[in-house]
Structure 1
């Protein structure tokens, strides 16, 4: 019986394998973050979204991300347009002054403000205290920071 020579992986093969591993790891981190956020927020029926004027949304002081890639925002805006709007509304909480604080969805909000120039955005409004709000915002962005 003849043994076929084993093909040595090329650089492209190695890069593809590395990319798959990174993608798998990122997906696992995202699932873990979603589970933690769900545990913090507790069980709830599907919360309906509502339209909120962009002018009424305040940035969360606990947002750990400060830099956003303009090309990625453009791609996101294009996908929002293609879908006919947001598939996943942003998450907010109502503040005592009647404004809303962003908890999750900074990139979606920026795409609306900077590229789409739409006056309002679909949002879910949650009733959260300051501590839970901070935890949700940090955990929501944790998988992007690692």
Structure 2
């Protein structure tokens, strides 16, 4: 009995939750899912922990007009309300519920699922990630929530959401931006490509202002970010030996061949030094992490 309880507490798995979200968020022109039954709209309540707080009024008006003409074609995913008898709480479909109110619809088609509080939140985050109007920062925050709150890895998210791992990794890097630059990205004054370039800039705020003022392309931004980094390195880099000894070069070559990556050794006369390993993509970074973890 305790084993069944424990397994239930772990949730039903990301792929199973994804199946329900895809049912709830499918476009209205797709073949509709058969509803379990219809529920009076006043007996349906939104999820109080819904991570999405803003709904564009124009988009709601468009959806309400469609509902007036065609009705609500795709049913909402709901669960029985945890505190009110004969009431239901929205798991996926709050946007349709809001638009239906504007269209003065009196009852809505629903599919009832037995979700825990944790699963309801997980589905709400997944549904938000699938929104067409999502900006890159909102999408990154959704991935971070799924990883931090539910322990999902980048690989698991990539597989379940049909995204590449590099897509998720690149978006998560955007969360490293200063708050001011995140706001510019959220407002659309910067693109995700601009933002990724700013992560490597010595003066990201100054470069961001240049992007907005001069309408710089992503390629131009990358070039300026790289140029600034190179000039700083030239001015701060301490003098290095003009030539490495033969033993050091041979050791670099052996390590590079063994690891399949570029390895540089900076050996100082006092016996101290530094080993630098360069990777060309995220796959090589994964390989490097696996190699290093074997030494634990």
The two structures have a TM-score, normalised by structure 2, of 0.33
Match status 1:79 vs 2:66: yes
Runs of 4+ aligned residues of structure 1 deviating over 6 Å after TM superposition are none
* Rg larger in structure: 2
- Do residues 132 (structure 1) and 113 (structure 2) align? no
Q: Does 1:88 align with 2:74?
A: yes
Aligned counterpart, 2:216: none
Is there any run of 5+ residues in structure 1 with no aligned partner, and where? 1-32, 41-45
1:37 aligns with 2:18: yes
Tell me the CA shift for residue 35 of structure 1: 7.4
Aligned match of 1:110: 98
Tell me, in whole angstroms, the C-alpha distance in 2 between the residues paired with 1:53 and 1:107: 16
Contact kept, 8 Å, 2:77 with 2:90, in 1: the verdict is yes
Please give the TM-score of this superposition, normalised by the length of structure 1: 0.63
Deviations 1:77-134 (A, max 9, x none): 1112222x11211110012432111011111100111x21122211111111111111
- The answer as to whether partners of 1:93 and 1:100 remain within 8 angstroms in 2 is yes
User: CA-atom RMSD, angstroms?
Assistant: 2.5
- Aligned-partner Cα distance in 2 for 1:138–1:52: 24
Which residue of structure 2 lines up, in the alignment, with residue 19 of structure 1?
Answer: none
Please give the secondary structure, in 1, of the residue aligned with 2:95: helix
Secondary structure of the residue aligned to 2:109 is strand
In structure 2, the gaps of 5 or more residues are 1-13, 22-32, 132-137, 140-296
